[in-house]
Structure 1
């Protein structure tokens, strides 16, 4: 069972997301919140696997992500918002968000994203990924620094990171590289340690910033 928190200051949005997710037998909505404080408290009071958080709710969604990352280690925080500007996306991911989705995400895609987030996989809307890449290409932002952070990776780890950056699961990466899932998992653990990333999404963004997917 995947236990989900929905945090949004719009009651209609919370109701719509609940109706979509409750179509999946393995997803259960354990709490709802209308501001950042309520979201953090709900993650402390309940066992929450995935927290879907709006950015612009009272108290600030990014603040809620940072608090959840500090105090609710098992919870995967995923932004679900209408705002996809690069600075906002980057701030959320650096605060500890495990994913970033836009509110025009389809019902089937939303359910799949919740499942993937619960499994610890990165969840980025395609539009968001494209924007991060375009921003890096236009400005060169972070490219040199990101490249230095990848310097200690082995060739095998760089291959895994490149595929992780495209959003593939462990099983899909294993199939592409003809490795076992256990080996891929070990590579990802090493990648996080060597690069200083705290989760797979930050590693995926780092891969984009370093130009590994170009």
Structure 2
């Protein structure tokens, strides 16, 4: 049955990312997961809200690893940022603009209506900020600059996802990436590392 729980979580993550929280029904989830309906309440006694909270936390932590996977191995901060924004553009194009950040999708939808899920998205964003700050300090930024750059990068990415999905064009991601790189260069230059 452990495999059933994993299938439910994976199907839920995909459906929430594509359709949002309110646009996803439990019947859709069990159908996509090839699971019996009762298994939702077996694994998630709190129903859809508990399931969504677990999806937010688990997929949010996976997305947070992108700082370490895409930026940390780069030879320098500017290259890392350029590669991260370029990878986001490729993903959007390859998925026909359907896949973006599931955490932002959920956060926008539930921030004013569901405190449990708002808290879960806030915790994920805080974890991303800590991870990004750690990665950026390794490139020589002060803790304060690294935190500010991380928040700017996350904000730029999330906003660019919204615009790119609406326009069905990756230009917003390119512009956001250029702005993030310019900010990083300015911070590095300000530290005499230009």
Provide TM-score, normalisation by structure 1. 0.27
Higher strand share: 1
Structure with the bigger RCO (C-alpha within 8 Å, sep 6+) is: 2
Provide TM-score, normalisation by structure 2. 0.28
Structure index of larger Rg: 2
Higher helix share: 2
